[in-house]
Amino acid sequence: MAGFSVKGFIFILLIAILVWSSSIENCNARRGSHWRQSRADSASLTKKKGRNHGSSNGHHQGRSRGDGAKQKSRSPPGKGYNGPKKKSPMPSKKGYNGGKPTLFNVLHFGAKGDGTTDDTKAFQAAWASACKMEGSTVIVPSNFEFLVGPISFSGPYCQPNIIFQLDGTIIAPTSFKAWGSGLFQWLEFTKLKGITVQDVNVFPGHNPVFDLSHWQISSELREKMPSIKPTALRFYGSYNVTVTGITIINSPQCHLKFDNCVSVKVFDMTVLSPGDSLNTDGIHLQNSQDVLIYGTNIACGHGISIGGLGRDNTKACVSNITVRDVVMHNTMNGVRIKTWQGGSGSVQGVLFSNILVSEVELPIVIDQFYCDKRLCKNQTSAVALSGINYEQIRGTYTVKSVHFACSDSLPCEDVSLTSIQLKPLQERYHLYEPFCWQTFGELSTPTIPPIDCLQIGKPLTNRIQSDYDSC
């Protein structure tokens, strides 16, 4: 009996172990099925409490599929598993970069936009904040008129690719006190990489202080006016500049000026200024390279000018300039290159294309004897001009169609004219024939009027610039 009892006990114990082992395998199979389902579902299960998302290491081996379906095997996590994978962060909202704002509205910095309150400090504060963020945007909202004094939006420590979104109107102060003894510019952008100014209406002519010839003012006020008139919008020492959608009215000096800039694009711009105002170039280029100007309307003023270059015996380097698809009405000049005697450097690779002029005094001008004062002394050194191309320039003029006055010591080379059709507005005007001096190049097509003064080919003698003088 004792032996039987021991054998019976061992037999019963074996059966109990087999039953217990079977229950563990069933539990693990169910647990494995639950893991596959939780992996297929969204990570929202992380919010559900009381469920076991992990399992012991090695349980994935030899587990069965409860549904028998053919699907890709997914193993439960191994050692070091820290819960379901977190959701990727949503893309940043517009106006935010990594949770930081990239839109800076001048109203949020204290600007009033009522046309009478001085908003200069608010603009400075908005710029200071935008300057720290790459790809930021300064917003000047529409339906506001902002009174802003002379201001410089400057680098060189600003982040690149800043946008100046000017949907509202900016006006200059009418008080002569805001200008002191005189400033060279009103709004200035300096030493920036990737700066865009778009959709802006600026009205420096709102200020009669600088428009002595067109505003009736008292002699007392005239005595207090600064002698230096400012350019409306100036870019200096900047790279990758875009200006689009802007309108500038009645600037007392140049409307838009680029100095020492590289890679410039200007399009969809409008300039309005009195036709007989002095030195009011619509677009003025100086010491800049890789410039494209197109889709621009200029009414009155001095048209588009490269220079004056070489003033006070300085060196100027201008190259790769394209001006196309431009309309000019009632301007003093159309497309002009002007240099001072005594300068050095060069202007090369310039194309003026598809320019429509209406009632323009001098549509095509090269003036290497430029002088904006009563007397300038004669000098032999000059900025060298070469590769200047004019094509599809048409319309009406009131004084002279073409004026080429090049240097005696450095004649203009490779000047080409193609499809030039310029007609006098009225025959009763005192008109001049086309003028050329020391200008060499080619006529690719017949021109209207005939420009017979252009010398075909190259100059027989030409002074070679030194390495110091050349660009």
Confidence of residue 252 (pLDDT cuts 50, 70, 90): confident
Residue 57 within a domain? no
> In this structure, what token pair is assigned to residue 99?
């949770």
Query: What is the Cα 197 distance to its own chain's centre?
Result: 6
List phi, psi (to 5°) of 23.
-65, -35
Q: Which residues pair with 295 in a beta bridge?
A: none
- Residue 291 near residue 245, CB atoms below 8 Å: no
pLDDT at 21 over 50: yes
Give percent above pLDDT 90 in the chain.
Answer: 51
Asked if 186 and 316 sit in the same domain, the reply is: no
| pLDDT reported for residue 83 | 44
> DSSP string of 102-124?
-EEEGGGGT---EEEEE-HHHHH
| Amino acid (1-letter code) at residue 468 | Y
Asked if 202 and 139 sit in the same domain, the reply is: yes
CA distance 141 to 138: 10
Question: What residue numbers bound the domain in which 234 lies?
Answer: 100-212+228-253
pLDDT per residue over 439-471, tens digit each? 999 999 999 999 999 999 999 876 677 777 788
Residue 411 within a domain? yes
pLDDT at 254 over 60: yes
Asked if 301 and 439 sit in the same domain, the reply is: yes
Give me the mean pLDDT over the 121-147 stretch. Answer: 94
Residue 321, classed as helix, strand or coil, is strand
Residue 137: left if φ>0, alpha if ψ -120 to 50, beta else—which one? beta
Asked if 371 and 468 sit in the same domain, the reply is: yes
| pLDDT reported for residue 44 | 39
Give me the mean pLDDT over the 156-180 stretch. Answer: 85
β-pairing, 439-443 vs 185-190, is unpaired
- CATH number for the domain spanning 233: value is 2.160.20.10
Asked if 239 and 144 sit in the same domain, the reply is: yes
| pLDDT reported for residue 302 | 85
> DSSP string of 25-71?
HHHHHHHHHHHHHHHHS-GGGGG--S------TTTTTTPPPSS----
Asked if 122 and 193 sit in the same domain, the reply is: yes
> Element (H or E) spanning 285, and its range?
strand 283-286
| pLDDT reported for residue 291 | 97
| pLDDT reported for residue 227 | 65
Q: For the full predicted model, state whether its pTM sits above 0.85.
A: no
Mean pLDDT of the chain: 78
Q: Which residues pair with 386 in a beta bridge?
A: 348, 413
pLDDT at 212 over 70: no
**Number of compact structural domains in the chain:** 2
Residue 452 within a domain? yes
Q: Which residues pair with 40 in a beta bridge?
A: none
Residue 341 within a domain? yes
Asked if 411 and 314 sit in the same domain, the reply is: yes
Give me the mean pLDDT over the 421-436 stretch. Answer: 85
CA distance 435 to 433: 6
Asked if 321 and 179 sit in the same domain, the reply is: no
Asked if 243 and 344 sit in the same domain, the reply is: no
Asked if 347 and 436 sit in the same domain, the reply is: yes
Asked if 200 and 345 sit in the same domain, the reply is: no
CA distance 388 to 440: 10
Residue 120 within a domain? yes
| pLDDT reported for residue 178 | 74
From 201, 236, 253, the end of a domain falls on: 253
HSE-CB for 244 with a 13 A CA cutoff:
12
pLDDT per residue over 389-402, tens digit each? 999 999 999 999 99
What letter would DSSP give residue 207?
-
CA distances from 296 to 244, 248, 270, 325 (A): 9, 12, 6, 7
Count Cβ atoms below 10 Å from residue 435 Cβ, excluding itself.
Answer: 16
Residue 24 within a domain? no
- State which of 4-8, 43-47, 277-281 shows the largest mean pLDDT: 277-281
Confidence of residue 340 (pLDDT cuts 50, 70, 90): very high
Residue 236 within a domain? yes
pLDDT at 191 over 80: yes
CA distance 240 to 264: 6
Residue 268 within a domain? no
Q: Which residues pair with 441 in a beta bridge?
A: 415, 456
pLDDT at 196 over 60: yes
- Residue 201 near residue 233, CB atoms below 8 Å: no
Asked if 245 and 300 sit in the same domain, the reply is: no
> In this structure, what token pair is assigned to residue 145?
């008129």
